[in-house]
Amino acid sequence: MIASYEYGGAGPRVLLLHGGGGNADQWQEFAKHLDGFSLTAVDLPGHGGSSDSSWRWDEVLDELETLDLGNPFVVGHSLGGMLAVRWGKRHPECPGLVNLDGNGWPSTYPGQVDVEPAREKLNEVFKAQAEAMAAPLTPEVEEMLVTQQPHLRRNLVRRNGQTFLRRSARPSTSSAN
């Protein structure tokens, strides 16, 4: 289940998709500058208040569609930007999308014939990132996160004396050396 947050406003709907490891709070400052729009930000799966559902692109898009936002503009940052591109491919009627610092659709890269190795590598990277995000944070990393990126505080969960970045993370059973 994807958690969504309304920033109010009247006018055309805009769907805001955050980057990996972030949450909908990343859009608060941005939202202040879009008075003429009705803004909806989400916590993508495994982030913020959303459950740890699938990270298959099509399944995430399916979940976003359950929000019943009509035909929104879509703005995504990093991971959210990649998802925005996929939204646009699925919804050619989308009035517009912005991909901030995300990769495009892999098959559109000039000169790239076989996209499967790139997709496999990207899946490996995402899996490694998910595993790293599921590990307990050291006190130093936790301090750095809340100091430098206060919006991530909402993602932190304390369990069994350890702090995790993802609320669904499993406590470590191995000892750190």
Place of tokens 């769907």: 15
What DSSP character marks residue 30? H
What is the structure's pLDDT at 1?
84
Domains plus CATH for the chain?
A: 3-105+116-133 (3.40.50.1820)
> Which range, 24-28, 31-35, 42-46, 69-73, has the best average confidence (pLDDT)?
69-73
Averaged pLDDT for residues 40-44: 94
Which is higher by pLDDT, 133 or 31? Answer: 31
For the whole model, what pTM was predicted? Answer: 0.69
pLDDT in tens, 122-155: 778 777 777 777 788 889 988 988 888 777 777 7
Percent of the chain with pLDDT over 70: 81
Q: What are phi and psi of 85, to 5 degrees?
A: -60, -40
Round to whole Å and give the CA distance between 44 and 155: 12
Residue 29, pLDDT > 50, answer yes
Distance of CA 128 to the CA centre of its chain: 16
User: Distance (Å, rounded) from C-alpha 110 to C-alpha 98?
Assistant: 21
Residues 6+ away with beta carbon under 8 Å from 31: 7, 9, 16, 39, 41
Buried b (16+ CB within 10 A) or exposed e, 58-87: eebeebbeeeebeebbbbbbbbbbbbbbbb
In whole numbers, what is the pLDDT of the chain averaged over residues? 81
| Six token digits for residue 16 | 């805001």
pLDDT, position 111 = 53
Q: How much is the CA Rg of the chain, to the nearest whole Å?
A: 17
C-alpha 80/C-alpha 95 separation (Å) is 17
Q: Exposed, middle or buried, 108 (CB in 10 Å: 0-12/13-18/19+)?
A: exposed
Q: Tens digit of pLDDT for each residue in 47-93?
A: 888 887 767 889 999 999 999 999 999 999 988 999 999 999 999 99
